[in-house]
Chain A
Amino acid sequence: MSSSLRMAGLLGQATRAIAVPESSQSHRLLPLLRTTSRSQCRAYSQAQRPRCNQNIKSALELRNNFSTSASYARAKTMGQLKQRNSTGPFSWKAALLFVLTGAGMMIYFRVEKARLERKRIAEMSKGVGKPKVGGPFTLKDLDGKEFTAEDLKGKYSFVYFGFTHCPDICPDELDKMAEIIDKVREVTKDDKLFLPVFITCDPARDSPEVLREYLKEFHPGIIGLTGTYEQVKNVCKQYRVYFSTPRDVKAGEDYLVDHSIYFYLMDPDNDFVECIGRQDTPESASKVILEHINDWKREGKPLKLE
């Protein structure tokens, strides 16, 4: 009892801020013990006592404006320490920070994962050494000028094989191609970056004039290419396109050509990147293409846009 009395006296000095009737010892003792019952001052040495008292005083003052938000500032008082202990390191600010950081990381990792996945596909398509799809070829453009695989370099090219006497699939796909061209160019704002190419599998019937008239109906930006039977056969082989055009066609003979119906997206190194097929919509296809173009730009790889 003597120790608690001593402490009470000590506290009495320090807590003049709260009005304590000084009438009797017991009266003075009880409320004080209640407010500081958990205080660890008892263990303090004589030298530390004054500071401790100070702390208790502040703690008592703080009780009046208690708030649930923990302060980030360094705890100055016993009360702040206690308060922090009671809620732990958590507060709405900490929770918000936690959630925002988490969401940020999640978005970042998703984006990165998708980018790496595309990169993996692009790298995989490049193969080791020789690309699996695409390769050197020599054809003629619609002005009769030579057009080789070199002319595709430095741009993303979008290659389609077909023939003008195609009953239904090619026209559908070319309408889709036109939409894709507009969508991609609308975003890249550059007509030179994305190069749509139509290579005929049927050079006997598809002369430059025929091809020009045909492609004009779909999109003026499509580059039509034709060549000799051997040249076309070679480019189809390079692009792994099934080629079934009859070699010797009688004048006026009507026939169909079986051919692959995929679009090939080739990167500026002229390596195959991705196939766009019948299942793709103009929206999904242009999204895929733009993602590849953006990846390429972000990696700072060269483009040739003259």
Chain B
Amino acid sequence: MGWLPWSSGAEPNKASDGGRIAPDRTSRKRCWEGRDLFFACLDRNDILDGIKDDKEARRKCAKEVEEFEAACSATWVKYFKEKRVMEYNRDQTIARIKKEDAATVQELKSQGRSTN
């Protein structure tokens, strides 16, 4: 996939003692920037799930997805896309619970008033 500048050859990210060199601070930053640009594009096009709606995302955000995938490893790309959906659902749930709580409080208050 060639996701890092020094990873184009055969296992060039292999450390001399057999380990696999991880992305450093600079490449992490580049990956996160690519991710943020891609997600901003998805937001503009009302796409939530970059995996499920892969085709549409690739069509509408062709440049962004290319840069994102070039800057991050495939597992990271998948991870961030899944995380975006997960976080969206989480925020929706929190918002829903808050709304329900507020409604319950309102209802209890009005009940309290009518009985008094």
A167-B18 in contact given A217-B24, A254-B73 (Cβ < 8 Å): no
Residue pair A213, B24 in contact (C-beta under 8 Å): yes
Compute the total of residue contacts between A and B using a CB distance below 8 Å: 58
The segment from A103-111, A152-160, A203-211 that touches chain B is: A203-211
Residue pair B22, A205 in contact (C-beta under 8 Å): yes
Q: Which of B16, B17, B19, B76 contacts A167 (CB 8 A)?
A: B76
Query: What is the number of residues of chain B that contact chain A, defined by CB distance less than 8 Å?
Result: 22
Interface size class on chain A is: 20 to 34
Please measure, in the bound complex, the distance between the C-alpha atom of A239 and the C-alpha atom of B28, giving whole angstroms: 28
> Smallest CB–CB gap between B43 and chain A, Å?
19
Q: Which of B17, B28, B74 contacts A209 (CB 8 A)?
A: B17
Which chain A residue lies CB-closest to B78?
A256
A209-B15 in contact given A168-B32, A254-B74 (Cβ < 8 Å): yes
Residue pair B19, A208 in contact (C-beta under 8 Å): yes
Please measure, in the bound complex, the distance between the C-alpha atom of A255 and the C-alpha atom of B79, giving whole angstroms: 10
Residue pair A211, B74 in contact (C-beta under 8 Å): no
Which chain A residue lies CB-closest to B22?
A164
Which residues of chain B have C-beta atoms less than 8 A from A167's C-beta?
A: 31, 72, 75-76, 79-80
B60-110 at interface with A (beta carbon < 8 Å): 72-76, 79-80
Which residues of chain B have C-beta atoms less than 8 A from A252's C-beta?
A: 11
Task: Kindly state whether residue A214 has any CB partner on chain B within 8 Å.
Answer: yes
Task: Kindly state whether residue A171 has any CB partner on chain B within 8 Å.
Answer: yes
Please measure, in the bound complex, the distance between the C-alpha atom of A171 and the C-alpha atom of B25, giving whole angstroms: 8
Which residues of chain B have C-beta atoms less than 8 A from A214's C-beta?
A: 22, 24
Which residues of chain B have C-beta atoms less than 8 A from A205's C-beta?
A: 19-20, 22
Task: Kindly state whether residue B21 has any CB partner on chain A within 8 Å.
Answer: yes
Which residues of chain A have C-beta atoms less than 8 A from B80's C-beta?
A: 167-168
> Smallest CB–CB gap between A209 and chain B, Å?
4
22 pairs of residues in contact across A and B, judged by CB atoms under 8 Å: A164-B22, A165-B73, A167-B72, A167-B75, A167-B80, A171-B28, A205-B19, A205-B22, A206-B19, A206-B22, A208-B17, A209-B17, A210-B15, A210-B19, A210-B21, A213-B15, A214-B22, A214-B24, A254-B73, A254-B75, A255-B75, A256-B79
Report which A residues bind B (CB closer than 8 A): 163-168, 171, 205-211, 213-214, 217, 251-252, 254-256
